[in-house]
Amino acid sequence: MTVQWGDCDPADIVFYPNYFRWFEISTTELFASVGLELPAMFKAEGILGMPILDAGATFKRPSRFRDVITLESGIESWGTSSFRVAHKVLKGDVEAVTGHEVRGWVVTDENHPSGIRAVPVPDHIRSRFD
C-alpha cells in the first residue's frame, strides 16, 4: 500500500484514524485470503457485518505521503462469539504501528429487541484459519 496525499494531515504524516480504516481493509483481505469473500459470507451466514467491539493501536513511527507500507494481519484468538485480529503496519522491516480489532459474530434475529443476537463463530468459518 502507498500512503496518499489525502491520508496525511498538516504535519505531513498519516492522520491516525486512517490506520483503523486500513485495519478494517486488512481484516477483509484476511478473510478473502482463506476463501471467505465477505459479501458472500455475510449472505450465507445471515449476518450484516462483523461489529467492532474493541480496537486499539500503538504508533511507533510516522508514515508520510508516498511511503510504501505493508499490513500483516492474523486471527490472534477466538472468543465464544467474537474474535481478535492482530495487525502490524511495516515500513520495510520496521514495525511502524501495531494494533488489534475485536469483532463480534452476530446474526440478525427479528425476535430479539435489538434485531441481532450474538452466536458462536461457526466451526466451518474458524477451521479456515487453522
Show which residues are catalytic. Answer: 9
Identity of the residue, 110 or 123, whose beta carbon is nearer to a second copy in the bound complex: 110
| 87 close to 100: Cβ distance less than 8 angstroms | yes
Please give the grid coordinates belonging to residue 122: 461457526
Tell whether residue 57 is a contact of a second copy (CB under 8 A).
yes
Tell whether residue 119 is a contact of a second copy (CB under 8 A).
no
Q: What are phi and psi of 62, to 5 degrees?
A: -75, 155
Strand partners, 111: none
Tell whether residue 5 is a contact of a second copy (CB under 8 A).
yes
Count interface residues toward a second copy (CB under 8 A). Answer: 36
Beta-sheet strands, E only, within 11-65: 52-59
Identity of the residue, 12 or 130, whose beta carbon is nearer to a second copy in the bound complex: 12
CB of 106 to a second copy, least distance (A): 10
Q: How far is CA 12 from the centre of its chain?
A: 25
Tell whether residue 41 is a contact of a second copy (CB under 8 A).
no
CB of 6 to a second copy, least distance (A): 5
- CA–CA gap between residue 116 and residue 91 (Å, rounded): 39
CB of 86 to a second copy, least distance (A): 14
Tell whether residue 86 is a contact of a second copy (CB under 8 A).
no
CB of 101 to a second copy, least distance (A): 8
What is the bridge-based pairing of β-strands 106-108 and 70-78?
unpaired
Tell whether residue 6 is a contact of a second copy (CB under 8 A).
yes
Exposed (0-12), middle (13-18) or buried (19+): which is 41, by Cβ within 10 Å?
middle
